Structure 1
């Protein structure tokens, strides 16, 4: 099996009233999701190809000596199912893959060492209270392995990195083994709680394959179907709401004639509201007269044409609801004739 490297005898492998109402349950939002099916392109450094918006870094440029093609790379690259006799994708036909290095086409200064990174775009966790990373993987976790499959996180644009998991050496990730011995061959998903980074505005996540040249076993690493999700900070802030029309003035057939100490309306009027919610957004604005709903408007401009015949005072009320269930309410007493 070319997925396994043998080393040192060890087998290894590849106002008015302001009211709030909030829903208790917060649904999870997807911050990033990929199955690596998009063609890889040159990254921002121009040194490797990567998924669009991602970055690939490393010291290797070569590939396995026995490969007629160049798809069995010592660095992170995309590989398609029709390019190998092994089924290396969890979904679709493409995955991200790195092979253990045999030193082929590597300079003497590199040899068989590997220091290879696959890095996400910058992610904003500032609006979330919990974060979860999940992906499917093929990796070799034999205790005798001398390489590392790190998951790392940076909050300073890659200047420093924290290890959150090592799939090879952390006992909790010794999963599977029923298809290939000592392999997790897409048998169990990898789920990592990254909630310690919730609130951070600039986060990168890396899959770091590290081998420093020791004698011992090594193996390939494949990842697919990466998903990063977050639970948003609960929105408990009501929308900003104001009644723009009518104001304290005399209106005749929707036209303001002159200021007055109360709103007086003769004929029809376009009741106009300004509603803004900077967190979850406005769901709808409700217009009521004497506590009876007259209209609901879900998109701006928030306007209702009041044409009902009436004579005397009425309580005009408007309510703005955001998408989290919070609402703001304002009302005023108007005199309407005809």
Structure 2
């Protein structure tokens, strides 16, 4: 019987055998060490196995294939290219090996065949009249269509994504020339991410940063940064910060959420909006010296530019605590290095963040083509996927970034044929390990009342002191938080190590009354459903009869 492989890395022979401090084998071993089964499979192995050819066991033209949906009668070679064979292998792995996670371990440079390790499948979409998040100033085109490199093809395994056998993959039902059937599948069988590597150095950077983040217990894991640029769209849509404010409620309170919004930036001038917001140097200082763990961004970009950073700026970062970015910016995730048919020699910004440097990000989700905004509303195609991603992450507990990204697409299937939704669905690709989970801060417990100062019969502080002094009864109030939300089970209140009360319901508080004269140590201890324990304490001088 085939050995299980919950986690599969697909790469080529050269990259599988690359030497270095960190290799794909290092990553596979790390999965095994945490109790998973894992293996590396090469493109060469897959391509030579006839089971994965178009008429093979797992091929698109085999009616016995459980994922088969329609007969192929022409253009057979399109369904027998490297992309199709890799997808057919993933079908086999899902059904026979118990595979849940797939890392596509290779670049897909469109203009450089030597770096086209795991080729992209291009899916067709169009949009009409939506504001674009390309390089400023703001641009709106009347009609835009493109073939978008999309790893959705490797995650969603039903059908062949090209029902009518033409040159366009992933068309909606109205463009299907044969039947009134949508060519795409939006429901993932496996969780997919991509490491856009083409050298041992890039593998080492990617694996090192992934493992460093997974092993980190640094407090930075609780820091979240929301970045909002001036967009130049009409009305409320003018500011990225307005779009980011929609996402804020999803971030649990125990995270330290800060914002850098042009809208609120000191010295921002609406009369000169493109020049007076936060600068790339402001952001680089934060990334290097006050590194957040999670960044959510809305702003303009290009193939080699995102978060107001060009590729050379990204390469100059020196942080050694690595972050995750979700960005709605245009083109920074164009991993085929392409814009309107022109192929750039340099890799895209997403690749620079994740594999080109030993600093920067451990993972990003970025757009392969134009990010899509809106006019006088914060409801936008790119924004819908952004919101669903953070809902999955924090509200539904889908901490693995591969799961959350693919859930965001599934969550919006009901409106996939609305203007721009298919486009934004196809272009949001994960550059990172799909099994990596966004960490949660430890349980937090803090005495919020009383503060330092003088209290009289519970009222105060009437004036400041260097300690808390209370005459008469006083209420001890506590903030306690843990993830998932509502998982705090109780808070205990101690005076001089003697348990005085226990409160299992929010708000957590205890009214101290009865005789007391002198100094006391007050301690509170919180407990959560998943076994966490946290505490806080303070000294008080209490006079009470």
Please indicate, yes or no, whether the TM-score normalized by the shorter chain is above 0.5: no
Higher helix share: 2
Normalising to structure 1: TM-score of the pair? Answer: 0.37
Rg larger in 1 or in 2?
Answer: 1
- Higher RCO (Cα < 8 Å, 6 or more apart): 1
Higher strand share: 1
Normalising to structure 2: TM-score of the pair? Answer: 0.25
